[in-house]
Amino acid sequence: MDLAEIFRVMRRRWYVLLPGLLVAVGLMAAVRLMVPVTYQSQSTVVLLNSQKATRAYDGNPFLSTQTSLTGMADSLARNLNSDDSLRELKSLGATGTFGAKLADNAQGPLLWLTVTGTDKATVLSSDRVLTAYAKERLDQFQKEQAVDEKAMIRMTTIVPPQVPVAQTKTRLEYLVMAGALGLVLSMVATFYAEARLRSPRPAPGAVPESAPAAPGGEPEKEAETAAPLPAGEPAVDETLAIRRPPRWSRSVKDGPTAAEPKAPQPAMAVASAAEPLDEESTHGHRPRTGQRDR
């Protein structure tokens, strides 16, 4: 089946295809209502060396970097993603989905702090709460280990919480899936109707059109083999009969062909009345010899 045939079937069974397309549109509208638009806000923070570690660099923390800071940043991110941290963030008034991880392709202890939600203003305020909470958790870790204040790792914000951006990828995927599902169901229903209506099955007990009903009520059965020829009648070779030249093109000398049987000679008619006899035969004279007396 080519593309032209598909379009012909769709045009012929439009009354089946149209409701299916309406169902597909309904599914997409339902997905649009049930799956709301989500917004995401992100901030970037970096861990810095302590004041003691930066004395050799005239107190500039950006000149002093250590691999231990990256390990500390990973530990802090894992803690922020824990259930305890999520409960504390919600108690502080933050809502939505929270996430903390090392920044992609980062060459230092950089962290991405993200908040995702359905309300634009709430997402922005929750991201600010998360950024402040991350700094508090870093200080709490070091205080629990009785680290001197001048030797504590510090945190600073590189990128503040950004204006929330709509995340349409997930919603678009659901819309495409709903539309594709509705379209596939419509096409299946259309071709199913075409197959059913093109070759309808005969009802049980119905008489086929090719076999007319006999007077007795039962359909006549066609003879499977040809009727035999009558006895004594020779079979005619159709090939020879076709190839035989017509009668008008044959000369008298040719005579009848092998395929053309000789016509039977008519029998001599029997006289209905006897010939009258000569006077000589009637009076007892000699019989007639065929020669008339002169």
Six-digit token string for 224: 């499977």
Residue 127's pLDDT band (boundaries 50, 70, 90)? very high
Are 176 and 162 in the same domain? no
In a domain, 265, yes or no: no
Query: What was the pLDDT predicted at 269?
Result: 43
Q: Which of 134-143, 232-241, 269-278 is the least confident region?
A: 269-278
- 191 close to 1: Cβ distance less than 8 angstroms: no
Please compute, for residue 197, the number of CA atoms within 13 A of its CA located in the half-sphere on the CB side: 10
In a domain, 131, yes or no: yes
Are 163 and 53 in the same domain? yes
Are 66 and 140 in the same domain? yes
Are 11 and 103 in the same domain? no
Are 155 and 78 in the same domain? yes
For residue range 24-59, what is the model confidence (pLDDT) as tens digits?
A: 888 888 888 888 889 999 999 999 988 888 888 888
H or E stretch including 157? strand 154-159
In a domain, 276, yes or no: no
Looking at 151, 179, 198, the residue that finishes a domain is: 198
- 13 close to 187: Cβ distance less than 8 angstroms: no
In a domain, 277, yes or no: no
Site of tokens 């419509």: 186
Looking at 145, 167, 189, the residue that finishes a domain is: 167
Are 192 and 111 in the same domain? no
In a domain, 288, yes or no: no
pLDDT at residue 113 tops 50: yes
CA distance 115 to 123: 6
Q: Which of 14-18, 63-67, 117-121 is the least confident region?
A: 63-67
Six-digit token string for 172: 């678009």
In a domain, 266, yes or no: no
H or E stretch including 12? helix 3-12
Task: Kindly report the length of the chain.
Answer: 294
The string of DSSP codes covering 25-92 is HHHHHHHHHHS--EEEEEEEEEEE--TTTTGGGTT-GGG---HHHHHHHHHHHHHHTSHHHHHHHHHT
Site of tokens 């597909």: 24
Are 162 and 177 in the same domain? no
Are 24 and 44 in the same domain? no
Query: pTM score > 0.85 for this model?
Result: no
Are 138 and 63 in the same domain? yes
Query: What was the pLDDT predicted at 138?
Result: 92
CA distance 185 to 281: 115
Are 11 and 65 in the same domain? no
Are 98 and 178 in the same domain? no
Looking at 126, 150, 167, the residue that finishes a domain is: 167
Domain with residue 148: its CATH number is 3.30.70.1130
Site of tokens 């006897």: 274
CA distance 241 to 243: 6
Number of domains in the chain: 2
Host domain of residue 191: 3-34+169-198
Are 102 and 174 in the same domain? no
Cβ neighbours around 226 below 10 Å, total: 6
User: 219 - beta bridge partners?
Assistant: 213
Residue 66's pLDDT band (boundaries 50, 70, 90)? confident
